[in-house]
Chain A
Amino acid sequence: MLKTTPLNATHRAAGARMVDFGGWDMPVHYGSQVEEHHAVRREAGLFDVSHMLAVDVSGAGAREFLRRAVANNVDKLKAAGKALYTCMLNERGGVIDDLIVYFIREGEYRIVVNAGTADKDLAWLSSLAKQGNAQVRLEPRRDLAMIAIQGPRARETFWSVHPEAKAATQELKPFSAAPAGELFVARTGYTGEDGFEIMVRASEAPRLWERLVAAGARPCGLGARDTLRLEAGMNLYGQDMDENVSPLDAGLAWTVDLSPGRDFVGRAALESHPARMQFAGLLLLDAGGVLRAHQKVETAHGEGEITSGTFSPTIGKSIALARLPLAAAAGETVHVRVRDKLLAALVVKPPFVRNGKILVTQTTTHKESA
């Protein structure tokens, strides 16, 4: 029996193609994944992300608890509403999940974790709290739905539906959040475009969704969400990293705070194992297929592997995220094994696309390395 979000009937009524996504019955597209992708880059798109789980972390020991539980440092969160992207690691330094921590006020945080890992995350956090005798409460918020509205026209579309929320949210900086009436509005997303992620009471979600659609936002499925995040160079848990991958090998070193004086789970493992591979982008130069996860990459410095690949609707070429030998450099040409062929691809630094603009080109210092 698949789990459903509060918007399930809304998706079905709109004719969405539904798929089993980690045990959840979710829309993959509503007709054309590519058109949905373009809507987000050019106008505004709407995503049901209610399968992800918000967990309120509160209590006198909440800060101390999160300082230990996650690899980035919640001490960076000083202003109310500020958000932090981080990994939660196991003792071996592998990634249990990636998540966002919102600082509500002292002693009160909200974290948002992935759908497929939510149960495992809760069990892990509970056991950590018990072990450390932490003064902390963990409250899963399945009573909340989450709707992401993304694209250059996302914010104004939201304000046209909720004018009373404008005052509370128009000054929001990227990666921060604020309550607006019954809503919790964050200027975050997974597309490389401006926009909001909105938490709303589950019972209110269908009405909010319908009103945003009526105001011009296009419903988008998980298919477009994946091509958008890949163009934006954002990692997907379970594909670009997992419990057996160090954040240092997944392009996530920038989210790990190794400054002295804080002992977080996984720190010792990370310090004894520096990065073995680098995480880079690939732009397919040859025709002949689409880059996909698990394809082997041949470089002048040894072998690598694609962790996520797709066809980029914005660029019109195939792109990928890949783990490559440390010596491989942006601008080099490498070769990807696609079925029985070796196709040339250019090593680039992600993101590929941000705010509607293509940031990588084929004319980057083109150096043959093979």
Chain B
Amino acid sequence: MKTPQELRYTASHEWVRREPDGTVSVGITDHAQEQLGDIVFVEAPQAGRKVSAGEAVGVVESVKAASDIYAPVAGEIVGANPALTDTPEKVNEDAYGAWIYRVKPANPADIDKLLDAAAYEKAAAA
């Protein structure tokens, strides 16, 4: 399983990347896309929505199944990846490039409490 060291992770298989503007990008892990199979639909949350940590904010659907995506931290949604509307398969092709949405954390320190790569790999293998 591919698990970049520089990212943070959730037990629900999201990856989280800090952006220079203080927001974080959220996507699903390589392990998650592999479990789901061919992805055909991605629904991201609307910009401006206030979310709490662990809240279901979007959906990824593969041919096989629908799977919720969760907010890793509390904050406000600032945008979604427009490319995934017409090419959701990018999540399969490049899970860590295909960010799904961006959130501005209410408390940036919350990101440090998320799993690191080693802890995520352990959780995903369990």
Contacts and interface: CB of A to CB of B under 8 A. Distances in A.
Contacts of B116: none
B38 interface: yes
Contacts, number: 39
B4 interface: no
A344 to B, nearest CB: 16
Contacts of B38: 32-34, 313
A34 B41 contact: no
Contacts of B37: 28-29, 32-33, 223
A289 B66 contact: yes
A109 interface: no
B73 interface: no
Given A29-B37, A289-B41, A290-B41, A310 B59 contact: no
A290 B37 CA distance: 14
Contact of A33 (B43, B63, B66): B63
B59 to A, nearest CB: 7
A292 interface: yes
B40 interface: yes
Interface string A279-296: 000000001111010000
A290 B40 contact: yes
Central interface residue in B38, B41, B85, by most chain A CB within 10 Å = B38
B63 A311 contact: yes
B61 interface: yes
A292 B63 CA distance: 10
Contacts of B66: 289-290, 292
A311 B59 contact: no
A223 B59 CA distance: 20
Contacts of A318: 40
Interface residues of B, number: 11
Contacts of A311: 40-41, 61, 63
Interface string B35-70: 001101101000000000000000101011010000
A227 B40 CA distance: 13
B63 A227 contact: yes
B41 A339 contact: no
A337 B43 CA distance: 16
Contact of B63 (A287, A310, A339): A310
Contact of A223 (B40, B43, B64): B64
Contacts of A29: 37
Interface string A286-325: 0111101000000000000000001101000010000000
B49 to A, nearest CB: 13
A223 B38 CA distance: 10
A339 B63 CA distance: 17
Given A33-B63, A288-B41, A311-B63, 8 more contacts: A29-B37, A32-B37, A33-B64, A34-B63, A289-B43, A290-B63, A311-B41, A311-B61
6 contacts: A289-B61, A290-B40, A290-B41, A310-B63, A313-B38, A318-B40
Interface of B: 37-38, 40-41, 43, 59, 61, 63-64, 66, 85
